[in-house]
Chain A
Amino acid sequence: MIGIVSYGGYVPRLRLPRMTMFQSMAWFAPATIAVAQGERSVCNWDEDALSMGVEAARDCLKGADKAGVDALLLASTTLPYADRQNAGIASTALNLKNEVLTADFTGSLKAGTTAMISAFESLQAGNKNSILVVASDKREAKAGYFYEMWFGDGAASLLLGKEGVIAELKGFHSVSYDFPDHYRDAAKKYDYIWEERWIRDEGYVKILPEAINGLLSKYSLSIGDFSKVVYPCFFSREHAAIAKKIGASPQMVQDNMHEACGEMGTAHPLAMFIHALEDAKPGDKLLLASFGQGSDAFWFEVTENIAKLPARNGIKGHLAKRKEMESYTKFCQFRDRLGADTGIRAEVSAQSPLSVLWRKRKAILGLVGGRCKVCGTPQFPKTDVCVKPECHAVYEQEDYEFSERKAKIISFTGDLLAVSIDPPAIYGMVQFDGGGRTLLDFTDCELEKLEVGQTVEMSFRKRWYDKERGFHGYFWKAVPQEKA
């Protein structure tokens, strides 16, 4: 049996109410009141498509056989690097084995589902046994534009394989059209988008039904065979119109999450699908279709294994971890659109030593430390000489992963002098459960709620962006957990 073995989601905790956006830009774009309902998800300043993708993949790999992953396919239209494979960075962050195939899938909002098809075909061909698919997007839109409200940031991940399948792949079907509803020049930050009415009538309402009907006819199915139909479309009226056109009842249509987080690009069809899986029962038939210069459509059947999946945040859990963003200017600052002054101190620019990054890649990207084979002491970073004073064994450390371990705060501060996009810079020393300690930046937290002894979890984040050289620096940060 081939299908989905596990799933994981990531929606950044910050949610910006569309009314807050409207209130800041109403003087310029009064018409946006028409869509100023609900809220959109917003990356913290230290998140991007790659970091969110890694978080979704970690969620997906909870309780899964990480060592068995044969390939990692990363889909996005907003990856940080044009040349330095982003999937390779993700693979190192996840500390996957070296003998793994990695690839970036990009250039279309359906890149996530296309990566799924490539993975399934590889599994069917018998070349691979376990493939991790990740889709993630952080898209930009100009201030005061409807799309700034409609877009959200987020990621989703599916582990596809043969053992412990929770949703069996029964079939798939694709159509491809160069439908230029929008495009983004390789060197541009923003999409160029044609008239919405045309996009709705000629795009969504025609292409999605064509792909879905194509799937139904290919496998001699009728829409009534399905318990849930999942497809993106953030125009609510057209989302319903598509259902009508394919003959699906309103109850069968999976919510498009427009009110909760907005449209998360390549991640969106996968995220909606995971949201559906979170409520699915064994035997449910699910239909998934994407939209983006064509469409990929899938037929899945949920198995008994879905009940055995270990606990995870998924999409539901992340939607529940919500923190309202109170300021539109903060949103702009986080996306480097405000140009707030960070002072002369921030001007210091240093090249990032790439040979060090390569040599220490496991520590920097993977938060892999060492554990002394003689005395058992975990330590970060891994070193040649054991830190334990009674041991000091030389050349005796084995790799030891810290990223999935919880830790406790030893001390912390909120630093207003340090250069930060979101002052104060909060950081501190943490002690890992089971041993080992280090200093880390903290993120997704409020200084006034922190306490010595509080539990933190690790998160893969961007630490800096060197504009001059176009280098994105990633490392791990501590995320303080709300007290139970």
Chain B
Amino acid sequence: MATGIKDKVAIIGMGCTKFGERWDVGAEELIVEAFQECIEDAGIDRNEIQAAWQGTCIDEVNVGKSALALALTLHLPYIPVTRTENFCATGTEAFRGAVYAVASGAYDICLALGVEKLKDTGYGGLPSIGGGSLAFFTMPNMTAPGGFAMLAQGYAAKHGLSMDEVKKAMAHISAKSHYNGSLSPKAHLQRPVSEDQILNSPMIAYPLGLYDCCGVSDGAAAAIVTTPEIARSLGKKDYVTVKALQIAISSGEELQYDNWDFDHFVTTSKASSLAYKEAGVNNPREEISMMEVHDCFSITELVTYEDLHISERGKAPKDVMEGFYDINGKIPCQPDGGLKCFGHPIGASGIRMLYEMYLQLLGRAGKRQVQNPKLGLTHNLGGFPFMNINSVAIIGRHDV
């Protein structure tokens, strides 16, 4: 009988680069920047790392395929290094590999590092990610904003809301993240933006405007994990443990069957339920202290509040407008600015989210510190609303 991951693995070190348009560096330099912070934080010798996972998504403009980039850059001593790729859940998948390796007892200390160098394409936005040879012939030439813009249409239609009402809630979400980003020194975008500016921004894919879309950034983030016993033996007192790690992937029903209205994420709804069960959370609205969710677009964040079973169906706009998810609200969401402002180097994002939760849990989050957090939730959503990879992770203080 499987017993889940709760408290079997401890995070003893994390690192994260400055995110942004890092014209000064490539993926290799980003790897070193994140790794150096991480290894110093862990306080171990680099040769104690027994296995590593590298998360990179779009290899064409990045470091190519395989995990060689991580091994060669850090000159890891012939240890197993594995590349993970699962769209925007790539970083969390790398983390999951390292965590499961420790939990299995195969290794004592493992590294997960996500990195993405996106700003070498010559244009704005993400490169398109292929969907296979049949999709090449049949799928619309869809961009990420376009794919998620359809979610806003579906959500508004499902709940009988006008697009103006949805857009107002979306604007509050982006304004909140911009404010949080201004408190976050490593964030890509650090300027507060008003809701009016957001509502009046140029259209990208109707109804999503410029400020409904997250930044396209370069960056890397890393985590070193081990068993709680080893963490204690290393003298770590306030260490953080993994409470839940869940992934759910679309089954094809959203895309091909007849029972979904393009209004929510089936995957998130399922993975979050399993994550709460794994972590022993009975009432997430009361028990989750803070979150970093996958706000690739403001509408994604809005709908995700409901799929995480924190806002009721159709009620997320109300919670948003009442400040429930603001930095001083009941459950602060995106305290570091989120994908929206901290940035979104795809392979690094999942680990960057964990990094923020980790800093908050250890009381190291500076001006944006959440009061006495116990459990932090992170969420990734890769792909499109109609076919996606969802991850939900919960980490917390070891004594919770």
**Chain A residues whose CB sits within 8 angstroms of the CB of B124 once the complex forms:** 417
**Chain A residues whose CB sits within 8 angstroms of the CB of B206 once the complex forms:** 413-415, 424, 447
Which of A4-12, A31-39, A139-147, A437-445 lies at the interface? A437-445
Distance between Cα atoms of A415 and B145 in the complex (Å): 7
Does chain B have a CB within 8 A of A357? yes
Does chain A have a CB within 8 A of B198? no
Partner of B205, one of A363, A380, A381, A415: A415
B205–A428 contact, CB under 8 A? Answer: no
Partner of B253, one of A352, A389, A417, A475: A389
A439–B140 contact, CB under 8 A? Answer: yes
B145–A410 contact, CB under 8 A? Answer: no
Partner of A415, one of B134, B139, B143, B251: B143
The residue among A360, A427, A435 with the most chain B CB atoms within 10 A of its own CB is: A427
**Chain B residues whose CB sits within 8 angstroms of the CB of A424 once the complex forms:** 205-206
B122–A415 contact, CB under 8 A? Answer: no
**Chain A residues whose CB sits within 8 angstroms of the CB of B262 once the complex forms:** 410-411, 429
B205–A417 contact, CB under 8 A? Answer: yes
Does chain A have a CB within 8 A of B358? no
Interface majority SS on A: helix, strand, loop or mixed?
A: mixed
Interface residues of A in 376-425 (CB under 8 A from B): 377, 379-381, 383, 387-389, 410-420, 424-425
Does chain A have a CB within 8 A of B47? no
- Nearest A residue to B251 via CB reads A389
B150–A413 contact, CB under 8 A? Answer: yes
Does chain A have a CB within 8 A of B125? yes
Does chain B have a CB within 8 A of A350? yes
Distance between Cα atoms of A364 and B142 in the complex (Å): 18
Distance between Cα atoms of A379 and B386 in the complex (Å): 15
B256–A379 contact, CB under 8 A? Answer: yes
**A430 CB to nearest chain B CB (Å):** 11
Does chain B have a CB within 8 A of A80? no
Q: How large is the interface on B (under 10, 10 to 19, 20 to 34, 35 or more residues)?
A: 35 or more
Q: Known: A363-B134, A380-B256, A429-B262. Contact between A415 and B157, CB under 8 A?
A: no
Q: How large is the interface on A (under 10, 10 to 19, 20 to 34, 35 or more residues)?
A: 35 or more
Which of A14-22, A326-334, A340-348 lies at the interface? A340-348
Q: Known: A352-B136, A356-B137, A360-B137. Contact between A416 and B151, CB under 8 A?
A: no
B257–A344 contact, CB under 8 A? Answer: no
Partner of A353, one of B133, B146, B149, B157: B133
Does chain A have a CB within 8 A of B54? no
Does chain B have a CB within 8 A of A317? no
Does chain A have a CB within 8 A of B382? no
The residue among A379, A387, A417 with the most chain B CB atoms within 10 A of its own CB is: A417
Distance between Cα atoms of A416 and B201 in the complex (Å): 13
Does chain B have a CB within 8 A of A452? yes
**B133 CB to nearest chain A CB (Å):** 4
**A475 CB to nearest chain B CB (Å):** 5
Does chain A have a CB within 8 A of B359? no
Contact with B along A214-244 (1 / 0, CB 8 A): 0000000000000000000000000000000
Distance between Cα atoms of A414 and B149 in the complex (Å): 8
Distance between Cα atoms of A436 and B56 in the complex (Å): 35
B133–A356 contact, CB under 8 A? Answer: yes
B205–A348 contact, CB under 8 A? Answer: no
Does chain B have a CB within 8 A of A310? no
Distance between Cα atoms of A387 and B255 in the complex (Å): 10
- Nearest A residue to B259 via CB reads A389
**B343 CB to nearest chain A CB (Å):** 18
Does chain B have a CB within 8 A of A107? no
A435–B157 contact, CB under 8 A? Answer: no
Distance between Cα atoms of A387 and B256 in the complex (Å): 7
Does chain B have a CB within 8 A of A431? yes
Q: Known: A348-B127, A381-B134. Contact between A437 and B205, CB under 8 A?
A: no
Interface residues of B in 102-152 (CB under 8 A from A): 121-125, 127-128, 133-134, 136-143, 145-146, 149-151
Does chain B have a CB within 8 A of A453? yes
- Nearest A residue to B146 via CB reads A415
Does chain B have a CB within 8 A of A171? no
**Chain A residues whose CB sits within 8 angstroms of the CB of B253 once the complex forms:** 387, 389
A429–B386 contact, CB under 8 A? Answer: yes
B258–A435 contact, CB under 8 A? Answer: yes
**Chain B residues whose CB sits within 8 angstroms of the CB of A387 once the complex forms:** 251-253, 256-257
Does chain A have a CB within 8 A of B154? yes
A389–B151 contact, CB under 8 A? Answer: no
**Chain B residues whose CB sits within 8 angstroms of the CB of A473 once the complex forms:** 137
B257–A350 contact, CB under 8 A? Answer: no
Distance between Cα atoms of A425 and B128 in the complex (Å): 15
- Nearest A residue to B156 via CB reads A452
**A123 CB to nearest chain B CB (Å):** 36
Does chain A have a CB within 8 A of B261? yes
Q: Known: A344-B123, A356-B133, A431-B258. Contact between A413 and B146, CB under 8 A?
A: yes
Partner of A452, one of B133, B149, B154: B154
Distance between Cα atoms of A356 and B262 in the complex (Å): 29
Distance between Cα atoms of A437 and B145 in the complex (Å): 21
Q: Known: A419-B141, A425-B140, A425-B141. Contact between A411 and B151, CB under 8 A?
A: yes
B136–A350 contact, CB under 8 A? Answer: yes
- Nearest B residue to A391 via CB reads B257
A411–B150 contact, CB under 8 A? Answer: yes
Q: Known: A411-B262, A439-B140. Contact between A389 and B257, CB under 8 A?
A: yes
**A418 CB to nearest chain B CB (Å):** 5
Q: Known: A353-B133, A412-B150, A427-B140. Contact between A379 and B257, CB under 8 A?
A: yes
- Nearest A residue to B128 via CB reads A348
- Nearest B residue to A477 via CB reads B140
Does chain A have a CB within 8 A of B86? no
B123–A343 contact, CB under 8 A? Answer: yes
Does chain A have a CB within 8 A of B153? yes
Distance between Cα atoms of A379 and B138 in the complex (Å): 14
Interface residues of B, Cβ cutoff 8 Å to A:
121-125, 127-128, 133-134, 136-143, 145-146, 149-151, 153-154, 157, 203-208, 251-253, 255-258, 261-262, 386
8 closest Cβ pairs, A-B complex:
A415-B146, A427-B140, A413-B149, A411-B262, A452-B157, A411-B150, A415-B205, A411-B154
Q: A360-B137, A429-B150 are in contact. List 11 more A-B contacts (CB 8 A).
A: A356-B134, A389-B251, A412-B150, A415-B204, A415-B206, A417-B204, A425-B146, A427-B146, A435-B258, A438-B138, A438-B255
**What are 9 A-B pairs at a CB distance below 8 A?**
A364-B134, A364-B137, A380-B256, A411-B151, A414-B203, A415-B145, A417-B143, A424-B206, A452-B154
